[in-house]
Amino acid sequence: MSASHLKERVRLVWRDMKKYKHAYVLLAPYFIIFLTFTAFPVLMSVALSFTNFNMLQSPEWVGWSNYAKLFVNDDIFLISLKNTLLFAAITGPISYMACFLFAWLVNELPPKIRAIMTLILYAPSISGNTYLIWQLIFSGDSYGFANSFLMNWGFSLEPIQWLQDTKYMLVILMIVQLWLSLGTAFLAFIAGLQNVDPTLYEAGAIDGVRNRWQELWFITLPAMRPQLLFGAVIQIASSFAVAEISMNLVGFPSVDYAANTIVTHLIDYGTIRFEMGYSSAIATVLFAIMLLTNLITQRLLRKVGE
Amino acid sequence: MKAIFHIRKRINRSWLVDMLLFFLLCGVACFMGLPLVFTISNAFKPIDEIFLFPPRLLVHHPTWNNFFALKDIFADSWVPFSRYVFNTFFIAIIGTVGHVIIASAAAYPLAKIKFPGHKILFHIVVLSLMFTAYVTQVPNYMTITWLGLINTYWAVILPAFGMTLGLYLMKQFMEQIPDSLLEAARIDGASEYRTFWQTVMPIVRPAWLTLIIFSIQGLWTSGAVSHKFIYSEQLKTVDYVFGQVASGGLVRTGPVAAITLLMMIVPITVFIVSQSNIIQTMSTSGLKE
């Protein structure tokens, strides 16, 4: 591009910027806060991932060595990576579809029943320490709900150590995660369904939409694409960032690291060993994985209703 | 049974499938509602039922004793309990109101005005959603210290104003507003600020009610966050104090069950109120082309 060309472009952009100055005024308060409390810490953390920082001495530049150590020298990270990917691959899509399916079913109900039903489905996300009830269900002795059920019905002879046995841990975590997953995206979908213009359905019926499934695919889903994209980002983030339920249910660290995830690994290095540089590198890797997954998902979602 | 499904124009619906789906939904609801039932019934259990093993889901001899015990615990606390309640409400209300207004103001241009840079700014916001909060804690602590916000309410409130989730959700909703509606407002001589405040904001009410639910829920249980930045006992929140009670061990099990129920009441109330509002506003939303 020649210099005069560039100058011309800058002039045009500048003209537009002046024309839309009210847009920047509306944006300013949010972005000042966003940059201070979100963007800046994120950038700083990415920068720290190339250093050796223990919170006491000033950071020392080490280049890619944190990343090299992660993939070559850290067996537990590789277990965590495998766990997280497996976990996300199963709970991510299922929870996303469940969010939509239940939002859609609830939306068909008359207002009063709908409000009650929404509350009940959303309940696990509201009530703070819901892990308690799962600890009772999967308690390791014969009094735990799951064990007493299996033993009473003769499926097993002795209690199973659900939360200590490496065979079951990850599966139980997945069940609990799915149960907790009707959260943010679920509510956003409900609100989104309310926004779909009812005349579209009438028009659809005239144009030959024959049943509710066609209606769903050709009218409802395309009309709420913005919410679907939003939900995807949220569900992907929550299925990759799982940590708290793991730490609460199966302990931290879990037996043989069988339920270690990328985030618990990160917490280990960040808040126990105070190796901030290394834990920042873990976060950056997780970020890259999520980003890639999101790009793929967003591309798939654009095909909805075609 | 059919009456349950009377809403909207009932085109393209078969009665049988309606029934099946409804029963499926009821089954799932029973399963999902468990913690709610458990928490409520636990709060009213007498001490021998709380420690019963295997635990019972429902209370057999309900009592208010746990709540009285809670009252006694707070009776001799150093800071009056009402002060903690005030702190919590202050943080939750100011944080939420500010967040809804600031996030909506930013979402409107991102969704509806094609100003230079709107795509890049939005991408940056989305990217930040994918970064885990655990590592940004340290830089965040430093920023808050530099700004002199340590030990003030603002250490919790200001970051809440800029929550990413709210902006994203709002922007996605505003995209669905027909451009013709905004054109009409502009032709009538409204400035962008007025268009935003008087045309756009009323239309997206379902979205800001959803935003309010998330925000209140987050701020209501912000004890862990505020604990890091707020040291004065006078400025601490209910959530934090309840954690203190819970750490009292076995003898406190009853009061803790009562606390858990009390902590749930506010988010649930907000949720119920917003829900009914979401439904009402829909009929007058003016979202039609």
Nearest to A290 among B130, B139, B147 (CB): B130
Model confidence over A244-259: pLDDT tens digits?
888 888 877 887 788 8
Q: How far apart are CA B112 and CA B204, in angstroms?
A: 13
- What residues are paired with A60 via a beta bridge? A52
Q: How far apart are CA B279 and CA A113, in angstroms?
A: 12
Contacts of B168 in chain A (CB under 8 A): 230, 233
Closest Cα in chain A to B131:
A287
Query: What pLDDT is attached to residue A281?
Result: 92
Among the candidates B39, B63, B87, a domain finishes at B63
What mean pLDDT comes out for the span A205-219? 81
Closest Cα in chain A to B274:
A115
Residue B2 lies in a domain: no
Residue B9 lies in a domain: no
Query: What pLDDT is attached to residue A260?
Result: 87
- B26 and B140, same domain (yes or no): no
Tell me the pLDDT band of A14, cut-offs 50, 70 and 90. confident
- What is the reported pTM? 0.84
What mean pLDDT comes out for the span A92-112? 88
Contacts of B238 in chain A (CB under 8 A): none
- B44 and B85, same domain (yes or no): no
Residue B18 lies in a domain: yes
Tell me the pLDDT band of A96, cut-offs 50, 70 and 90. very high
- B272 and B170, same domain (yes or no): yes
Q: Cβ contact (<8 Å) for A41 and B39?
A: no
Residue B284 lies in a domain: no
Nearest to B4 among A110, A120, A241 (CB): A110
Kindly state the percentage of chain A with pLDDT values over 90: 17
- B44 and B92, same domain (yes or no): no
Chain centroid to CA A279: how far?
Answer: 19
Among the candidates B42, B63, B84, a domain finishes at B63
What mean pLDDT comes out for the span A174-191? 86
Query: How many domains does one find in chain B?
Result: 2
Q: Does A94 touch chain B (CB under 8 A)?
A: no
For residues B73-88, one letter each, b for 16 or more C-beta atoms within 10 angstroms of the residue's C-beta and e for the rest, the string is beeeeeeeeebbeebb
Residue B247 belongs to domain with CATH number: 1.10.3720.10
- B158 and B228, same domain (yes or no): yes
The string of DSSP codes covering chain B is -GGGG--S--TT--HHHHHHHHHHHHHHHHHHTHHHHHHHHHHT--HHHHT-SSPPSS-SS--SHHHHHHHHHHHT-SS-HHHHHHHHHHHHHHHHHHHHHHHHHHHHHHHH---TTHHHHHHHHHHHHTS-HHHHHHHHHHHHHHTT-TTSTHHHHHHHHT-HHHHHHHHHHHTTS-HHHHHHHHHTT--HHHIIIIIIHHHTHHHHHHHHHHHHHHHHTTHHHHHHH---GGG--HHHHHHHHHTT-GGGHHHHHHHHHHHHHHHHHHHHHHHHHHHHHHTT-----
Segments forming the whole domain that contains residue B207 = 73-278
- B59 and B77, same domain (yes or no): no
- B55 and B156, same domain (yes or no): no
Residue ranges of chain B with pLDDT lower than 50? 1-9, 281-289
Q: Cβ contact (<8 Å) for B116 and A40?
A: no
Which two three-digit tokens encode residue B5? 């499904």
Model confidence over A126-141: pLDDT tens digits?
766 666 677 777 877 7
Residue B39 lies in a domain: yes
- B265 and B129, same domain (yes or no): yes
Q: Does A63 touch chain B (CB under 8 A)?
A: no
Q: Which range scores top for mean pLDDT: A32-46, A116-130, A232-246, B226-240?
A: A32-46
Query: What pLDDT is attached to residue B284?
Result: 45
Q: Cβ contact (<8 Å) for A197 and B288?
A: yes
- B98 and B211, same domain (yes or no): yes
Q: Cβ contact (<8 Å) for A127 and B13?
A: no
Residue B49 lies in a domain: yes
Contacts of A16 in chain B (CB under 8 A): 115-116
Model confidence over B234-285: pLDDT tens digits?
888 888 877 777 776 666 777 878 888 888 888 888 888 877 666 554 444 4
Model confidence at A225: pLDDT above 80: yes
Task: Return the amino acid letter for B172.
Answer: Q
- B127 and B33, same domain (yes or no): no
Query: What pLDDT is attached to residue B15?
Result: 79
* ipTM of the complex as predicted: 0.81
- B118 and B188, same domain (yes or no): yes
CA nearest to A181, candidates A105, A90, A301, A113: A90
Residue B5 lies in a domain: no
Residue B263 lies in a domain: yes
- B21 and B131, same domain (yes or no): no
